[in-house]
Amino acid sequence: MQFRVFSAAKLDEALVLVRQGLGPNAVLLDRFEGLNDKGEKEWRVHAALDEEPRAIKSRHRSVEQKISKLVSANLASSLQRLDKMAVSFGNKDVEQYRQAIANAAARTAFDYLLEVGVSPINAFEMADDYARQKPVSLKTLRWAEYVSPRVQRKTILFSGSNGVGKTLLLTKLAKYYSLAGVSVVLMTTDTKRMGACDTLHSYAETLSAPFFAIYDKKDAIKALVASQSAQLVLIDTEGWNNRNASGLHAQMKLWNHLGCTHRILLMSASMDESDGMVMLKRAQNLAMTQIAFSKLDETLRPGKIVNWAEASRMLMSYCSFGPEIGGQIGWLTPKSLNAVLAKHYRQQLCDQDEVHII
């Protein structure tokens, strides 16, 4: 199978190049809209041409027919076999990407990126720069502007699944900014769970920061009026998951009255990647502006955060390490993402030149 990447200013122009280069039987694998080295808009189309002999294709069809019979006879065992075959076909696709990389160092980088969980197509895009230790340049990743509440008041709301670490990240940020002399206010809309407000309320008292529990629209308006002089407002919210997101609609009605400048979806790096993709789909209606990641110290495959960010097209912002309030938090940039993906990334994160620790 031939594998090639075609680039053009417009999508239709790139598709024309595909047909010219690989013919009418070309298969489109993926397409991205981004910027070229000059900062101009550019479409990149990944395409392949299957030149597999008919005899081999015939054998593949025969295998598929046998699998179909096995599914009917023994569902459990045949599903296991299908999983193994899916891995096999995936490895075949990976090998096509690998063979399309001419540089040996970039090929090694490609293999490493796969090892830490970056998808094959993203690893292919990143391999050359990663091999040269250049900042990540995947054109479909987007980066948030660093939060500077001293310059302009910010109201940041965090949403995400139960136990993802929203309250922990919020208290880390509250501590950091309070110690830096920024006036901070803490709020929560997570008022239905017994004791849900207590932890955040207690921590607000420790910081001598105002705290507001938001039960309804009137509470939201009162809290905004009372916190007008604050430079930074941090808002915790009710957790949700892929099976139960029924309360989100009511939550969003409250969010709309809180004057949020940032709505950040917090995702756990220890979550299964497919569950994460489902969560991103559910979050499409939440008007989230940014994506952040917690529990990066709990996964051996941090590359999944690249796949999530690329799939969501949301701006990448915070990252969090460790279960303690004094644990590290950082701001994701192309350079710091390299450090996160590095084999000894936790050690590298201590280097101020590699990642901006806040």
**238-252, 274-288, 296-310: segment of lowest average pLDDT:** 238-252
The answer to whether residue 160 sits within a structural domain is: yes
Q: What is the mean pLDDT of the chain?
A: 80
**Percent of the chain at pLDDT exceeding 70:** 77
Q: Quote the pLDDT of residue 16.
A: 79
The answer to whether residue 242 sits within a structural domain is: yes
Q: Quote the pLDDT of residue 219.
A: 94
Confidence at 71, pLDDT banded by 50, 70, 90 = very low
Q: Quote the pLDDT of residue 164.
A: 92
Q: Quote the pLDDT of residue 14.
A: 79
Q: Quote the pLDDT of residue 325.
A: 62
Do residues 325 and 306 lie in contact, with contact meaning Cβ atoms separated by under 8 Å?
A: no
3-state secondary structure labels for all residues of 178-223? HHCCCCEEEEECCCCCCCCCHHHHHHHHHHCCCEEECCCHHHHHHH
Do residues 185 and 230 lie in contact, with contact meaning Cβ atoms separated by under 8 Å?
A: yes
Confidence at 56, pLDDT banded by 50, 70, 90 = very low
The answer to whether residue 232 sits within a structural domain is: yes
CA distance 312 to 316: 10
pLDDT at 315 over 70: yes
**Percent of the chain at pLDDT exceeding 90:** 36
**40-44, 172-176, 220-224, 335-339: segment of lowest average pLDDT:** 40-44
Concatenated DSSP letters for 258-300?
TT-SEEEEEEETTS-HHHHHHHHHHGGGGT--EEEEE-GGG-S
Q: Quote the pLDDT of residue 170.
A: 93
Q: Quote the pLDDT of residue 290.
A: 95
Mean pLDDT of 15-19: 79
Closest by CA position to 137, among listed 297, 338, 331: 338
Confidence at 29, pLDDT banded by 50, 70, 90 = low
Do residues 251 and 189 lie in contact, with contact meaning Cβ atoms separated by under 8 Å?
A: yes
Structure-token pair, residue 169? 């990240």
3-state secondary structure labels for all residues of 37-62? CCCCEEEEEEEEECCCCHHHHHHHHH
Based on its alpha-carbon atoms, the radius of gyration of the chain, rounded to whole angstroms, reads 24
Residue 236 DSSP class: E
pLDDT at 353 over 60: no
Q: pLDDT tens digits for 162-187? A: 889 999 999 999 998 998 999 999 99
The answer to whether residue 136 sits within a structural domain is: no
Q: Quote the pLDDT of residue 153.
A: 95
Higher pLDDT: 322 or 273? It is: 273
**26-35, 157-166, 197-206, 271-280: segment of lowest average pLDDT:** 26-35
Confidence at 81, pLDDT banded by 50, 70, 90 = very low
Q: Quote the pLDDT of residue 87.
A: 41
The answer to whether residue 235 sits within a structural domain is: yes
The answer to whether residue 23 sits within a structural domain is: no
pLDDT at 349 over 70: no
**In a 3-state reduction of DSSP, which class is residue 3?**
strand
The answer to whether residue 199 sits within a structural domain is: yes
Q: What is the CATH number of the domain that holds 201?
A: 3.40.50.300
Higher pLDDT: 275 or 30? It is: 275
Q: pLDDT tens digits for 175-220? A: 989 989 999 999 999 988 777 788 899 989 998 999 999 999 999 9
Higher pLDDT: 68 or 276? It is: 276
Pairing outcome for strands 2-8 and 41-49: antiparallel
pTM of the entire structure?
0.72
Confidence at 269, pLDDT banded by 50, 70, 90 = very high
Domain limits for position 222: 142-357
Q: pLDDT tens digits for 90-100? A: 455 788 788 88
CA distance 78 to 89: 16
Q: Quote the pLDDT of residue 86.
A: 39
Closest by CA position to 294, among listed 329, 343, 336: 329
**In a 3-state reduction of DSSP, which class is residue 111?**
helix
Q: pLDDT tens digits for 289-298? A: 999 999 988 8
Closest by CA position to 120, among listed 143, 89, 80, 81: 89
The answer to whether residue 111 sits within a structural domain is: no
Instruction: Report the number of distinct structural domains present in the chain.
Output: 1
